[in-house]
């Protein structure tokens, strides 16, 4: 039981490049989330998916797209990376009843 | 909209002593959950303790306990017998069933002095 896994762990992009962050969970959770963490600002919600086939914007969705590929996988795509997207990105999934969220190990992304 | 405030950016405690981290929140919902997460230097987010708003009894998990004051919208974390491994960033978080979102405070960085 791996919990929530994310790839890659580290990534450096040049401005304008694109990339997809992958996330998978093996706990049969319905809801999945993408957050970004910046110094002094806590974790802010980018997008979430309440169930397979649905996605909704969070607090800071601009510049990102998501895909809920199936119940296990939820990917985050940066179409044209900007230096303001330099951050640590976390994926999480939520228990169906108890509301606790379980987090992946995070991806440190640097955009130069 | 719901908000979570952690007014202590940094705290320090001596090993074996007790420390309390503060958290206040604002909501109009009656049904919600509150959490404390720990983030050590490894970056992994670890759930420390949870509290259901409908429960009057304060949650405890070994050396960690909360003081939940629903009317005051306050949710503080007490760490007893502090250990070096408790050094981390601690985040308070709110979850309301109507929004399906977890809202985080800005965190408190806890240092533990030997």
CA B34 from centre of chain:
8
Hey, is A102 helix, strand or coil? strand
User: Are the CB atoms for B43 and A88 separated by under 8 Å?
Assistant: yes
**Which tens digits make up the pLDDT trace of A28-73?**
999 999 999 998 888 999 999 999 989 999 999 999 999 998 999 9
SS3 A2: coil
User: Quick one: three-class SS letters along chain B?
Assistant: CCEEECCCCEEEEECCCCEEECCEEECCCCCEEEEEEEECCCCCCEEEEEEECCCCCCCEECCEEEEEECCCCEEEEEECCCCHHHCEEEEEEEEECCCCEEEECCCEEEEEEC
- Residue A39 DSSP class: T
User: What is chain B's pLDDT, residue by residue, as a tens digit (114 residues)?
Assistant: 789 999 999 999 999 999 999 999 999 888 899 999 999 999 999 999 999 999 989 999 999 999 999 999 999 999 999 999 999 999 999 998 777 788 999 999 999 999
Of B9, B91, B100, nearest to A50 by CB-CB distance is B100
A103 and B45: CB-CB below 8 Å? yes
Cβ distance of B104 and A31 shorter than 8 Å: no
Distance, CA of A84 to CA of B63 (rounded, Å): 39
Contact B47 A100 (CB under 8 A): yes
Task: Among A25, A88, A96, A99, pick the best mutation site for testing chain B contact (most B Cβ within 10 A).
Answer: A99
B43 near A CB under 8 A: yes
């Amino acid at each position: 039981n791996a919990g929530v896994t994310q790839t890659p762990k580290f990534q450096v992009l040049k401005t304008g490049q694109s990339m997809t962050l992958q996330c998978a969970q093996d706990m049969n959770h319905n809801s999945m989330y993408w957050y970004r963490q910046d110094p002094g600002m806590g974790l802010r919600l980018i997008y979430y998916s309440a169930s397979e086939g649905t996605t909704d914007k969070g607090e800071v969705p601009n510049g990102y797209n998501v895909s809920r590929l199936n119940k296990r996988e939820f990917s985050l795509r940066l179409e044209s990376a900007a230096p303001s997207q330099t951050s640590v990105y976390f994926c999480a999934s939520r228990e169906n009843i108890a509301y606790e969220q379980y987090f992946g190990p995070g991806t440190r992304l640097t955009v130069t | 909209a719901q908000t979570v405030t952690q007014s202590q950016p940094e705290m320090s405690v001596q090993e074996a002593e007790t420390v309390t981290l503060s958290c206040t929140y604002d909501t109009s919902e009656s049904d919600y959950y509150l959490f404390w997460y720990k983030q050590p230097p490894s970056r992994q987010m670890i759930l420390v303790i949870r509290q259901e708003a409908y429960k009057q009894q304060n949650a405890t998990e070994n050396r960690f306990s909360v003081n939940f004051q629903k009317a005051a919208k306050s949710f503080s974390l007490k760490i007893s017998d502090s250990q070096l491994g408790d050094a981390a960033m601690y985040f308070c978080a709110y979850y309301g069933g109507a929004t399906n979102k977890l809202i985080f405070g800005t965190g408190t960085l806890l240092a533990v002095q030997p």
